[in-house]
A and B are shown apart, each in its own frame.
Chain A
Amino acid sequence: MKTKTASQPTTVQAKNISGAEAVIRCLLAEGVDLVYGYPGGAIMPIYDELYKFQDQLHHVLTRHEQGATHMAQGYARTSGKVGVAMATSGPGATNLVTGIADAQIDSTPMVCITGQVASHLLGSDAFQETDIIGISTSVTKWNYQITKVSEIPSILAKAFFIARSGRPGPVLIDITKDAQFDFFDFEYVPCTGIRSYQSDFPIAQDALSQAATLINAAKKPLIVWGQGVILGEAEAAFKTFVEKTGIPAAWTILGLSALETDHPLNMGMVGMHGNYAPNLLTNECDLLIAIGMRFDDRVTGSLDTYAKQAKIIHLEIDPAEVNKNVMVDVAVLGNCKDSLEQLLPHVQPLELTAWKARFHELNAIEEEKVIQKDLYPTKEGLTMGETLRVINEHSGGDAIIVTDVGQHQMVACRYAKFNQSKSNVTSGGLGTMGFALPAAIGAKMGAPKRQVIAIIGDGGYQMTIQELGTIFQQRLDVKIVVLNNEFLGMVRQWQQLFFDKRYASTEMINPDFIAIAKAYGIAAKCVDQREELSPAIATMLNTPGPYFLEVRVEKEDNVFPMIPSGASVSDIRLE
């Protein structure tokens, strides 16, 4: 069984220890050295053990339990390991739900541990009792309530195995207070398989050869890849596949950074605010090779007109994603690293000069109509696009970029330059505003040697702004850029385009962000002039420790290209 942790889980034994201590020993056996959480009544025995084990297991006190989940997600996304979040029962547990739902839809490996009232009180509406198992069922890959101390090792072993294997996802384990207090003889045996759960698939050779036949005969093939390439650690195999065949490749928002953005065959983003060429050519290609992606509606637009002319190959690890939204001609089930490696010897270099010229032709149109104006604006106000351009100039594409949700996210994903994988952390499927600030904290802790820049809108920033306290307390080197247009920009854009400019509750009267950052001991600056932008970003990146930069951008800019909701990818608008 392949696992994605740096260190393999180990078998551990200990005589007569408490359930709470057992939880900590399970985490250590899984190679966990970092947990995010918030204490409270029903999880106090575990926190007491965290105190005793603080040399081996670092607990990050967040300012809200939602922050703990997003931090665990950010950590998982940049480290490739399982993120761990902890909370008490009742409101502590319910505050985790948004992050769990986000991890579920974005396939992020995470284990959440919640305290629960003592088992004899279950169902009595005890203080801070809530049915977190019931509440979290539809947003977890698996969940389980432990009421007996003896269950702790086997259930936690299963939790980690499930979270990281197959299509990764969040697992919630609820532990009653009596199970934390009780004593037992502890033995931890890592989980290597569950009889009712298939996490890995041998690659079907007939599907593979059908795929190879289609690929070798294609005249106008297009690859669309997603996060499966990153989660499956398939980046090298993927790049070899792209380069050997010479097929142009485009990414979904979560696939971003798996192949460097400057790669000549990287044709940009598909979907609602993606690039002109890959969207339009989705409906011109003769073969669509979907790798580790799930045909989300933001990617496909109207399904009735999506790639109808093309044969479709789908490399996918989750059987439930095959033929869910788009019917495919060949499905290759399995980890896409395995599929790609086994496919490689069977595919040949293709002659695609004319087809690639189509991309360059359309790229030139987008460049002229959209990109130049975004990146090198001639109008007075600053744009989000030029801020990203300047960040690229200073970071050289080596930074991890963490984004929230909305206009700034689309602009950042369109323009940020990436040289290496696991560098783009964003809330894709759920679109969780408030994700970026805590996720950036986790991202930094998951990749401590790398520069982490959070790019956030003024709306989303204020949803989890209290996590500045966590940055302050943990002394974390996170750079925060708020692109402030004093609007909930994406909603405002829709109101302008589709609701006759009725700006219902999208204008924001914002606080003094600089004063807030400074109150948390974070160096801060605000810029609104073009000539200040580059020096300010240089100062931010060169200042040791956290830094907050507010960029006042044009208030009513829109993000283009755009495929209106429910329209065809062919109906992509440039203005």
Chain B
Amino acid sequence: MEKKLYTISIYTENNVGLVNRISAIFLKRHINIRSLTTSPSEIPEVFRFVIVVKMTLEGIQKIVKQIEKQVDVIKAFYHTDEETIYVESALYKITSTALFEERQIQNIIKESQAKMVTVSPEFFVIEKTGFREETEKLYNDLKPYGLLQFVRSGRISVTKAKMGISDILNTFNATKQDEKKS
């Protein structure tokens, strides 16, 4: 079966050790995680993991069930690139002399629509957010002028379809209320 990129979105409780528990699921199956990002979600006290992996459809279906089986995971989803809106951010640090001496750099920055984050007498830092191809192109364009540092974030993504996490939590709260009344 053909392997493709999938974005896994996981809504979780905020518990120490959960990154370990989730990454162990991949480790056990010898699956390489391409990127992993954690952040707060739209719901207070609920965290969101975004994990990118290259797998078969059958494989991703099984692994999402294993993730969802974890007690502190509220819900997990998998999506193809077509089903999500996703970006990555990259930072590029270059010596300031290059900026002033190599006119081409200014054109590259302008064309790439990257943002200047900081400029100092020694170095400057630009930031580019977009698809992998865009941050990679900028990397390749700037490389000849000497990159002092380069770093790229994991993918962050939102889905086109509704996730329904609040519904799950509200249903739970409602049953809790019923239990108290009875």
A residues in contact (CB < 8 Å) with B:
133-134, 137-138, 141-145, 162, 192-197, 318-320, 322-324
Contact = CB atoms under 8 A, between A and B. Distances in A.
B17 A133 contact: yes
Interface in B1-60: 12-13, 15-17, 20-21, 24-25, 27-28
Nearest to B171: A195
Contact of B71 (A133, A145, A162, A320): A162
A143 B17 contact: yes
Contacts of B27: 138
Which size class do B's interface residues fall under? 20 to 34
B68 A320 contact: yes
Nearest to B180: A192
Contacts of A143: 17
Interface string B170-182: 0011011001000
Given A133-B17, A319-B65, A197 B169 contact: no
Contact of B65 (A134, A137, A320): A320
Contacts of B16: 145
Given A133-B17, A137-B17, A320 B28 contact: no
A144 B66 contact: no
B68 A137 contact: no
Q: Which of B71, B74, B176 has the most chain A CB within a 10 Å cutoff?
A: B71
Contacts of B71: 141-142, 162, 194, 196-197
Interface of B: 12-13, 15-17, 20-21, 24-25, 27-28, 61-62, 65-66, 68-69, 71-74, 168-169, 172-173, 175-176, 179
A197 to B, nearest CB: 5
Contacts of A192: 179
A318 B13 contact: no
Contacts of B25: 138
Nearest to A161: B71
A193 B69 contact: no
Contacts of B175: 193
Contact of B69 (A134, A194, A319, A323): A319
Given A138-B28, A141-B71, A193 B176 contact: yes
Pairs A-B, 3 closest by C-beta atoms: A320-B65, A195-B172, A138-B24
Contacts of A134: 17, 20
Contacts of A162: 71
A358 to B, nearest CB: 34
Contact of A196 (B17, B21, B74): B74
A245 B166 CA distance: 44
B47 to A, nearest CB: 11
Nearest to A318: B69
A193 B172 contact: yes
Contacts of B172: 193, 195
B18 to A, nearest CB: 9
Contacts of B72: 142, 196-197
A318 B65 CA distance: 9
A57 to B, nearest CB: 26
Nearest to A320: B65
A279 B75 CA distance: 38
Contacts of A323: 61-62
A134 B71 CA distance: 16
